[in-house]
Structure 1
Amino acid sequence: MSVETSAPAERAEAPTPPSSVTGRVLSILAVFEKSLAPRSLTDIASETGLALSTAHRLVTELEGWGALQRDTNGRYQIGLRLWELGQHAGRQVREIARPLLQDLYSLTQRTVHIAIREKTEVLYIDRIYDTRRVPQASRVGGRLPLHATAVGKVLLAFEESWLREAVLAQPLEGRTPKTSVDPDALRIELAVIRERGYALTVEEVRLGSASIAVPIFQRGGGIGAALGLVSAADEASTLERHLPAMRGISRRIEASVGQFPLQSMGARRPGVRS
């Protein structure tokens, strides 16, 4: 009489550690890309496949350099020096985008700017001013409500639906008598913006001015920033003629920035106040 025995449960295979020292260091940093939760040395060794002694040596070097730091329980987490390097990435993205923004100004002879979303507001990253006396509602480093500006509406229209609903559920400030503050009307408007690919506002954030904006998508998907153009309100009916140039510059920014996160442009710069 044969006795059947159940097969032992399969164990998850440990990852194969990289062969080079650089690869091993990067594999340690990549652990925190999955989650920023602090890790023990044993956790790091397990997730990278490194021998405990190797993990200890490399983690100690990373801690000494400032790439990692220990919390009060002795577990490792991302260090401030890596965060500081991230701020340099934001500056580099702005430097890449600046000449393209200047190209758009040359083509349109109108005030142009780039903005990103920061919580429920638009944060203006860079701007080139027209010589005409057009009322300006904000400046570089300044913030305005998402629902009241062309760049903000573009950002909101292409964000995930749960975020749009969270913004529309809050009290919506009326910056001028023409600001749209009705959530249902805004939902319809945002759907139209998603369909046609641009937003147009007239005197919603400041009387006397109008603005048009197009999205700048992050490579790999998702909205990263918005590109806007400002004019006098009496030119609102002609702003759409600038769309080909704006869309062309938007695509060039997307291609030039590459994998850099466009949100990193919001890294605070010395001397810039919101």
Structure 2
Amino acid sequence: MAELNTVLGKIMAVLNAYGVDDDELGFAELQRRTGLPKATLHRLLGDLTEVRLLDQASRGYRLGGHLFQLGLRAAAERGLVEVAIPYLEDLYERTHETVHLGLREGHEVVYAAKLGGHRQASSPSRLGGRLPLHATAIGKALLALAPSDVQAAVLAAPLTRRAPRTVVAPGILRRQLEAIAETGVAYEFEESQVGLACVASPVLDGDQVVAAVSVAGPAERFDPRAHAASVHAAASGIALTLARRARLVER
């Protein structure tokens, strides 16, 4: 992370002040979270708004659409999303529930794609948003096959409780991750949000996990176990397509 006494450090302090649940933040809250002087923060907010990294809103500032556009230009992620979209669309047609593609960044899942119709479940996920790995099915699918040091760090850190049923006991989470690594399927039962159930499966590139796919629906009518095979098949299809593309590039 850039030092706070550099221009880049100050910019990153502002952008990183936004949490997964923050739609917009006011000036006073941004100053509290960043610790920047008022004059410095005011100047930065103006500059960031001018280049569309932030958008001015009714009660403050929200992250700008240009940030998402920049993210989509990242070659590896863009190629992965392009490959995944047909499989995600097929999965949506099979389930008519909310379908996600997620990537791991640190100890969080970042949502790279989200498909849903008129009856989609109320979900804390949003395109480009982040949630803790341990609190979501898609996050647990990513964590189960992550490098051992990543797993150890997540299990050693405090596991934040996002809902009454969030798994916050390291021993229980470790056993879940072992089962996911063996079966290739992860479940969530009202762990990221009350009333939400989810099933997910990792997308592998060789023995490395590069993404995960999930389907989520209202817990009152959606049984994630009934869709495990479809989600696993979609993740496997994405992995096979990525492998074929890689072989073509090597020729």
* Alignment TM-score, normalising by the size of structure 2: 0.65
Q: Determine whether 1:204 maps to 2:171.
A: no
CA RMSD of aligned residues (A): 2.3
2:97/2:121 contact within 8 Å kept:
no
Percent identical residues = 38
2:97/2:120 contact within 8 Å kept:
no
Extract unaligned runs of 5+ from structure 2.
1-70, 247-251
Extract unaligned runs of 5+ from structure 1.
1-83, 262-274
SS of 1:235's equivalent?
Answer: coil
Match of 2:179 among 165, 168, 192: 192
The aligned amino acid for 2:235 is: S
For 2:165 and 2:77, the matched residues in 1 are separated by 35
For 1:94 and 1:187, the matched residues in 2 are separated by 29
Q: Which has the higher contact order (CA 8 A, sep 6+)?
A: 1
The aligned amino acid for 1:227 is: V
Match of 2:110 among 120, 123, 138: 123
- Report the counterpart of residue 172 of structure 1 in structure 2: 159
1:115/1:126 contact within 8 Å kept:
yes
The aligned amino acid for 1:223 is: V
SS of 2:164's equivalent?
Answer: coil
For 1:221 and 1:193, the matched residues in 2 are separated by 14
The change in CA–CA distance for 1:89 and 1:197 in structure 2 (over 3 A counts) is closer
- Report the counterpart of residue 121 of structure 2 in structure 1: 134
Match of 2:85 among 82, 89, 98: 98
Q: CA deviation at 1:133?
A: 4.9
- Report the counterpart of residue 234 of structure 1 in structure 2: 220
Q: CA deviation at 1:157?
A: 0.9
For 1:234 and 1:208, the matched residues in 2 are separated by 7
1:93/1:260 contact within 8 Å kept:
no
- Report the counterpart of residue 248 of structure 1 in structure 2: 233
For 1:91 and 1:194, the matched residues in 2 are separated by 26
The change in CA–CA distance for 1:97 and 1:181 in structure 2 (over 3 A counts) is same
* Alignment TM-score, normalising by the size of structure 1: 0.60
- Report the counterpart of residue 148 of structure 1 in structure 2: 135
1:89/1:260 contact within 8 Å kept:
no
For 2:167 and 2:245, the matched residues in 1 are separated by 34
The aligned amino acid for 2:212 is: A
2:185/2:232 contact within 8 Å kept:
no
Greater Cα radius of gyration, structure 1 or 2: 1
Q: CA deviation at 1:259?
A: 7.3
Match of 1:160 among 134, 147, 153: 147
For 1:259 and 1:158, the matched residues in 2 are separated by 22
For 1:213 and 1:133, the matched residues in 2 are separated by 17
For 1:90 and 1:156, the matched residues in 2 are separated by 18
For 1:165 and 1:260, the matched residues in 2 are separated by 33
How many equivalent pairs are there? 177
SS of 2:74's equivalent?
Answer: helix
C-alpha distance after superposition, 1:67-114 (max 9, x if no partner): xxxxxxxxxxxxxxxxx9x82343232122112210110111111111
- Report the counterpart of residue 183 of structure 1 in structure 2: 170
Q: CA deviation at 1:126?
A: 0.1
4+ aligned runs moved over 3 Å, structure 1: none
The change in CA–CA distance for 1:165 and 1:260 in structure 2 (over 3 A counts) is farther
